[in-house]
Chains A and B, each alone.
Chain A
Amino acid sequence: MAEPAAASTAAIYRRLVAAQVRSQLSYRVSFVLDLVSNVVFLGADLLTVLVVFHRVPVLAGFSLADTLLVFGLASLGFSLAELIVGSIDHMQRHVRTGLLDAVLIRPLGVLWQLLVLDVGLRRVGRVCSGLVLLAIAVRLAEVAVTPANLLLLVITPVVGAVFFGAVFVATATVAFWWVDSGELSAALTHGGRDFTSYPMTVFGGWFRRLFAFGLGFGFIAYYPALILLDRPDPLGAPAWLGWCGPLLAAAAATLAGLIWRTGVRHYRSTGS
């Protein structure tokens, strides 16, 4: 009986998503504005990079084309993660308003329900512009077309998506213990994206070590980009680190899953 059950579960999710899509499209002006803002938000980060390079030709040893490649890999991975799990950002609201209580008594996975309850349709725009940007960056940086490079170009955004997705879920779990945690999760999600968007040589000291190795953000865009650019790491790390992303993403996803389960198990309703 497993198969019909799985099929009907899929049908339920399909209907939930369809209902969300319909409801979001019904406020048309707002939806368009939302979609545009989302594309422009990527534009804002891109603008920062361009403005910086308007002032200086080289940033911490990297040219504009090289930096754009790092930026493109990071932002495509991030926007994919945001499209799929970004709505988990509203976790605090779910805990505070008691929506989570309702979700918990339904016979479907808690995390999946929360994700389909607020499908980020408007964030599709950001993924598309991320793809275009990465394609342009690959051309500008004159990445050699080899099978290995093509493989790396495909897996790096996927690794980024899984990794950032894990960070989204893990940091949203804070809301189980700390309801009013505000934008704290943004420090690691958006902060992590900002860190991965620039060549690591920009950052210094303990801060770089913490974000690159302690939290793992160094493997999302910087090391793969070095392989694509065919240049050694100015900081002296071996080139094969660029291929470690999938292992790291798997570990991050597992860890995030464990943190999430612990959170759900310790959930106590706020009573509202």
Chain B
Amino acid sequence: MGFVTATADRLTIRNFTETAGLFRTLGASGFRRFSTYRQATAAATATNTVFGFLRTYVMLAVAGSAAALGGQAAGYDAPQLITYVWVGQGLIGVVGMWGWTELADRIRSGDVVTDLLRPVHPVLGYLLPDLGRAAYALLTRFVVPIVVGALAFDMYLPRRPATYPLFAVSVLLAVLVCFAGRFLANAAGYWLLDTRGVLMGWALCAGVLGGLYFPIRFLPEWAATALYLGTPFPSLLQVPLDVLVERDPPIGQLGLLGLQALWAGVLFTACVVVQRRAERRLVVQGG
């Protein structure tokens, strides 16, 4: 007996205008949806800001001790670390580090079936609203911590104009990598009934290995290199922040972007493969 797929024929791209219209509509839906959660946005921004202060003071103490010994902390000076912390606090909301359980919830409730009936590939169907969400976060959760940080401390501003567009590209890639990672963690729900442990594992790795708790460069060099090359996590925060504070020369910045793009490619391929396998074994529980 062969497999019977329950999925509808997916998006046959007829022309460019139609596709662009679809992208716009789905993206805008994510933007509008998250712009209605005003209380949640305000609360999350306030929390990110408090943690910005906590992390800045620890990093300043590190920079202070390193300077007293006549050196720098892993190649960062105090203003660079301040920018690192505050822009990082702003980016948490933009990349959407954790807290996304929508797909896992829909798998559990069985609602995911309706996603399969839509004429859009499920990965794309979740990605586009997520980009809209990121755009909304860029206007709100990104701006506030940076303004507060700039008012309270002396921040490092990029010296090379080219850094700004590189940072923008890096943030976009970070959003893509993070989405794909979250999608995969959620998709574990196709195989496990309770995904809380997997999602927690994702949140933990994203925070610790992504450069939120401390810059990954603080680790011994072999460990940092292994994390950059062997895991997608530094691509979430560490890479955009390193690009922004000009931790490396221009060629290094480009290399980091290439690494991010590579991880985005790998993870999206994995998303598509996992989704295909999941659809093969999906048993919808009644009710």
User: A: which residues have CB within 8 A of B?
Assistant: 27, 29-34, 36-38, 40-41, 44-45, 47-48, 51-52, 54-60, 178-184, 186-188, 191, 194-195, 198, 201-204, 207-208
Contacts and interface: CB of A to CB of B under 8 A. Distances in A.
A183 B219 contact: no
B69 A56 contact: yes
B208 interface: yes
B61 A59 contact: yes
A60 B61 contact: yes
A181 B39 contact: yes
9 contacts: A32-B197, A33-B201, A34-B197, A37-B197, A52-B214, A56-B69, A181-B40, A183-B43, A194-B54
A44 B203 CA distance: 11
A226 B65 CA distance: 21
B47 A195 contact: no
A212 to B, nearest CB: 12
Contacts, number: 118
Interface in B161-219: 192-198, 200-201, 204, 207-208, 213-214, 218-219
Contacts of A55: 62, 66, 73-74, 218
B204 A180 contact: no
B61 A183 contact: no
A59 B62 contact: yes
Given A32-B197, A58-B65, 17 more contacts: A30-B196, A33-B196, A33-B198, A34-B196, A51-B214, A55-B73, A56-B62, A59-B65, A60-B65, A182-B39, A182-B47, A183-B47, A187-B50, A201-B61, A202-B61, A203-B57, A204-B57
Residue among A31, A54, A182, A198 with max Cβ neighbours from chain B (10 Å): A182
Nearest to A33: B197
A191 B56 CA distance: 13
Secondary structure class of chain B's binding surface, majority of residues: helix
Interface of B: 37, 39-40, 43-44, 46-47, 50-51, 53-54, 57-58, 60-62, 64-66, 69, 73-74, 192-198, 200-201, 204, 207-208, 213-214, 218-220
Contacts of B74: 55
Contacts of B57: 202-204, 207-208
A188 B208 CA distance: 20
Given A34-B197, A55-B73, A207-B57, A181 B43 contact: yes
A44 B214 CA distance: 10
Nearest to A31: B197
Contacts of A34: 196-197, 200
Contact of B62 (A38, A52, A191): A52
B229 to A, nearest CB: 19
Contact of A48 (B43, B193, B213): B213
Contacts of A188: 50
A43 to B, nearest CB: 9
Contacts of B73: 55-56
B219 to A, nearest CB: 6
A29 B197 CA distance: 8
A202 B62 CA distance: 9
Contact of A178 (B43, B47, B200): B43
